[in-house]
Chains A and B, each alone.
Chain A
């Protein structure tokens, strides 16, 4: 008796913007490998009396991301204080966005055509970095505030993702897009893109409790953690039958060595962030003209490039490969009079030297292909005529004999493309 099991996965991605300065102050934002606490000021260190002033570039970068992900832009938007106590949070609150984020209601399309809906894309500030250690026999956290105040964009999907494979594809696409936009280098090892999946299962209409996964540092870890978690939740369900409620969401970390997820001790009480509008920052009014200007200047994104190539006749597999190759794309564009599908395929199979005369190379290859066919048909007919027993074996199901026939044809033709021969033979043998 098979259960119908559907994973329900939502992904929250945090992207560190590579602006020059921090989100609310003029400290340098590039904090990687800098001496600890050497890039702070009263604002990002949370000293008494300090006040935040938002970074215009970070706002525009967030709009870029939102527009690239097909979002609606909120004309009226503002920052809010998200309040909680933690040593890496110097003010005791994080300036973030709550009820009026910059961007909302977008989507990302997977290769299969499935649309993953995006709930929101908003802007906030990063926290300091903690290092756990033991000092004088006591467990302590050492804090470096260089990262405090760096602009962070949060991209939140709806739980439309149904497998770890889809999750990986989604993440890779987000990664490619934000890099292409030039708003971040999104270096996973530097923590410039952080992943937080939330997952539960729909088992024959019953829903297992939600689990938020933390400490996922790479796409492969995300896949492994999700796979482990899906199995674990199924096992739990079979054992306990516990279903999802409003208050039984848990947090689990991922151990990449043991390849398991493990429960993390609960934070005190349910999180009550006591959001309220940030009084130190006047609200933002995003004009339609700013949105249009940003939209106009968006670089063409991988998804769009691939769609366009496919529309012009390029095979999807070839389109995907060439979408990242600027030289190839230019070649296709410049030679738009040539059959794009064929040209793309030649380029992918390295049959064309892009630095040479593309038109003449193309001519030779297609001619060769046509000549090939015209030349080969009589040879194929001949070979088939000479090998009736082989044909019988093929028709009985021994398809491996095709190789023998191909060899015969090539020997007779003295020069032929094995693939072309094979295609023609199979056609004839039908």
Chain B
């Protein structure tokens, strides 16, 4: 597993490419070889586009030879990427992790896929996930669970399970993901990689299988914060095909990373997050984080997010309602297999959602949840009046063993306590590794900042990472 100790980052690969130390063909060949070696065990990739990737690599090398300035035009030129299998890729099978779409070959590519392609990235394949993004462990995939590369008996987290595992196992320099209730941040922590969930509306959702339309955030997993910033520069921005994307200009995030944190930079820790938190690993991880922040001269402040405990209830009303609606199009007439192919978790969420929207129940459930959502948002608005960022765990425990929690849907839901409120409020969040526990399982934390302030989030994350890993 030496690969994982010195993972290849995007910026290192680019440096090597520009210095002609390596070719794109070699890069792609190396990754494909590693995937061939490890994927049988990890089950991170559902589809590997080997031939297409090799052809693109060859063409890329020819371009570099002719036009060395290509890297200015295309900032990710020659860099391999893997897409969570919710991202539609034209001509390349896209399953959403579900038997319902087991043979679906999309007729179009989504905006983020196209933006990354236009920036020069080369798609190596499609990554495993909980079916329809319903899950936090990867175990709800209809194509077998992905395993945690740090310890194969453990889950990698979910729903972006394949994305996190592939980056952690150095099968990719970066992977796309979605985060509706924690599906980038939690697996990032479980796998020890960086997971960025941008603000709602910062990155286009067009061409990505919708889970919950008002909650889905489109992000990515990388080895470090610099890479996370570099990818966001490409994916962020208003999209005429997604009416919920914001018009705000996209900052050059990479250029703002090492700006000094303001003198009065404050990070808040919510007392509600600490109530009932008993896992020693998670507590230790928080302690490591606090130390790093102290070293940075950041002031730690206790804040209150009073409606935290209602976050899961509100989330598990709004999300299934939107899920039940978004999955209505899968009727096997125009594409896909019949609805009998939905797994248990999908069926449960469809039924919960249908029920909470139905006549006589809408007010008590969906409308009520929308009102609680207002209160949760208000909690954060007030908090960000006092602090610049919020520190929190992403999960009450580190990665757990495969099969451990699969019999109890509700207990799975309860583990989302630290992640769902950011989606309800539309906030950006980043998951960062802090170390490992005795079982070699990664530990980590997350930071949250106010909506549309990714530059502040990445700035803090960059300094935090530098402090922890002495880069």
In the complex, which of the residues A50, A83, A145 contacts B328, with contact meaning CB atoms closer than 8 Å?
A: A83
Distance of A52 Cα from B331 Cα, bound (Å): 20
**Which of B249-257, B277-285, B357-365, B445-453 is the interface stretch?**
B357-365
* A51 B241 Cβ-Cβ under 8 A: yes
B210 at the interface (CB under 8 A from A): yes
A contact residues around B86 at 8 Å (CB) = 49
> In the complex, what distance in Å separates the CA atom of A46 from the CA atom of B333?
11
**Among candidates B108, B210, B322, B328, residue contacting A42 with C-beta atoms closer than 8 Å:** B108
Q: Verify if A85 is at the interface (C-beta below 8 Å from B).
A: yes
B403 proximal to A (CB < 8 A): no
Given A42-B108, A87-B331, A279-B214: A51 in contact with B243 (beta carbons within 8 A): yes
The answer to whether B243 and A52 touch across the interface, beta carbons within 8 angstroms, is yes
In the complex, what distance in Å separates the CA atom of A87 from the CA atom of B366? 27
Contact partner of B107 (CB less than 8 A), chosen from A42, A81, A91, A276, is A42
B-chain residues with CB within 8 Å of residue A143 when the two chains form the complex:
333
For residue A45, which residues in chain B have a CB less than 8 angstroms away from its CB? 334
Q: Does A48 contact B362, Cβ atoms closer than 8 Å? A: no
Q: With an 8 A cutoff between CB atoms, is B207 at the interface?
A: yes
Chain B residues with CB below 8 A from A92, complex form: 325, 327-329, 331
Q: How far is the CB of A145 from chain B (nearest CB, A)?
A: 8
Instruction: Say yes or no: B325 contacts A93, CB within 8 Å.
Output: yes
Using CB atoms, name the residue of chain A closest to B327.
Answer: A92
Check B213–A280 contact: CB distance below 8 A.
yes
Smallest Cβ-Cβ distance to A278: which chain B residue: B213
Instruction: Please name the residue on chain A nearest to B239 by beta carbon.
Output: A51
**Neighbouring B residues of A275 by C-beta, 8 Å:** 357, 362
Chain B residue, CB-CB nearest to A54:
B243
Q: Which of A52, A53, A275, A279 has the most CB of B within 10 A?
A: A279
The answer to whether the Cβ of B205 comes within 8 Å of any Cβ in the partner chain is yes
For the complex, is B242 an interface residue (Cβ under 8 Å from A)?
yes
Cβ-based interface call for B435 (8 A)? no
CB of A49 within 8 A of CB of B333, answer: no
> Of residues A50, A52, A92, A274, which shows the largest number of chain B Cβ atoms within 10 Å of its Cβ?
A274
Out of A49, A53, A272, A274, name the residue touching B110 (CB < 8 Å): A49
Is B206 located at the chain interface by the 8 A CB criterion?
yes
A85 vs B242: C-alpha distance when bound (angstroms): 25
Cα–Cα, bound, A108→B322 (Å): 39
Convert A22-62 into 0s and 1s, putting 1 for each residue whose CB lies closer than 8 angstroms to a CB of B. Answer: 00000000000000000000100111111111100000000
Query: Complex: how many Å from CA A91 to CA B357?
Result: 17
Question: In the complex, what distance in Å separates the CA atom of A281 from the CA atom of B242?
Answer: 9
Which of B244, B321, B331, B335 lies in contact with A47, CB distance below 8 A?
Answer: B335
Q: Contacts of B213 on A, CB cut-off 8 Å? A: 279-280
Check: B121 CB closer than 8 A to any chain A CB: no
Interface status of B208 (Cβ within 8 A of chain A): yes
State whether the Cβ of A90 lies closer than 8 Å to any Cβ in chain B: yes
Shortest CB–CB separation between residue B101 and chain A, in angstroms? 7
Q: How far is the CB of B171 from chain A (nearest CB, A)?
A: 25
Checking B206, B240, B329, B362 against A274 with a beta-carbon cut-off of 8 angstroms, the contacting residue is: B362
B107–A272 touching, CB < 8 Å: no
Interface size on B, residues (CB 8 A): 40
A276 touches B334 (CB 8 A): no
The answer to whether residues A87 and B206 also contact, given A52-B243, A274-B357, A280-B243 and a CB cut-off of 8 A, is no
A279 touches B335 (CB 8 A): no
For B240, the closest partner residue in chain A by CB is A53
Q: Is B397 interfacial (CB-CB < 8 Å)?
A: no
Contact string, B231-243, partner A, CB cutoff 8 A, digits 1/0?
0000000001111
Is A299 engaged at the interface, CB distance under 8 Å to the other chain? no
Given the complex of chains A and B, what is the CA–CA distance between A275 and B354 in angstroms?
11
- Min Cβ gap A95→B in Å is 11
Question: Is A263 in the interface zone, CB < 8 Å from B?
Answer: no
Q: Which residue of A lies closest to B88 (CB)?
A: A49
Decide yes or no: A282 and B243 within 8 Å by CB, A49-B210, A274-B354 being known contacts.
yes
B106 at the interface (CB under 8 A from A): yes
B328 proximity list for chain A (CB < 8 A): 83, 85, 91-93
Give Cα distance in the complex from A83 to B322, angstroms.
11
- Which residues of chain B come closer than 8 Å to A81, judged between CB atoms? 325
Q: What's the minimum C-beta distance from B339 to chain A, rounded to whole angstroms?
A: 10
Q: Assess whether B209 is interfacial by the CB under 8 Å rule.
A: yes
Q: Are B209 and A48 in contact (CB-based, < 8 A)?
A: yes
Report A270-310 residues with CB < 8 Å from chain B CB: 272, 274-276, 279-282
Evaluate whether A48 and B88 lie within 8 angstroms (CB atoms) in the complex, with A280-B213, A281-B243, A282-B243 already known: yes
Q: Is the CB of B206 within 8 A of A49?
A: yes
CA A87 to CA B331, docked complex, whole Å: 8
A93 to B357, CA, bound (A): 13
Nearest to A81 among chain B residues (CB) is B325
Q: Are B321 and A276 in contact (CB under 8 A)?
A: yes
How many angstroms from the CA of A276 to the CA of B321 in the assembled complex?
9
Determine whether the beta carbon of B107 is less than 8 Å from that of A48: no
Mark contacts of B249-283 with chain A using CB atoms, 8 A cut-off: 1 yes-contact digit, 0 otherwise.
00000000000000000000000000000000000
* A47-B107, A48-B209 known; A53 vs B241 contact (CB < 8 Å): yes
Contacts A85-B328, A90-B329, A91-B328: A47 and B106 contacting too (C-beta < 8 A)? yes
- Is residue B96 within 8 Å, beta carbon to beta carbon, of the partner chain? yes
Whether B357 pairs with A276 at a CB distance below 8 angstroms is: yes
**Shortest Cβ distance from residue A21 to the other chain B in the assembled complex, whole angstroms:** 13
Q: For B329, what are the chain A residues with a Cβ–Cβ distance below 8 Å? A: 46, 48, 90-92
A258-272 near B? 1/0 per residue, CB < 8 Å: 000000000000001
- Name the residue on A nearest B101 (C-beta): A48
A100 to chain B, nearest CB (A): 14
| 26 pairs, A vs B, C-beta closer than 8 Å | A42-B107, A42-B207, A45-B334, A47-B106, A47-B107, A48-B88, A48-B209, A48-B210, A49-B86, A49-B106, A49-B206, A49-B207, A51-B242, A51-B243, A54-B243, A83-B325, A83-B357, A85-B331, A91-B329, A93-B325, A93-B328, A274-B359, A279-B214, A279-B322, A280-B213, A280-B243
Report which B residues bind A (CB closer than 8 A): 86, 88, 94, 96, 101, 104, 106-108, 110, 205-210, 213-214, 240-244, 321-322, 325, 327-331, 333-335, 354, 357-359, 362, 366
Task: Contacts A279-B213, A279-B322 known; list 17 others, CB within 8 Å.
Answer: A46-B334, A47-B108, A49-B86, A49-B205, A50-B206, A50-B207, A51-B206, A51-B241, A51-B242, A52-B243, A53-B241, A85-B331, A87-B331, A87-B333, A143-B333, A274-B358, A276-B357
- Give me the interface of A with B, judged by CB distance under 8 Å: 42, 45-54, 81, 83, 85, 87, 90-93, 143, 145, 272, 274-276, 279-282
Going nearest first, the 8 A-B pairs with the smallest beta carbon separation are A92-B328, A279-B213, A274-B357, A279-B214, A49-B207, A46-B329, A48-B209, A91-B329
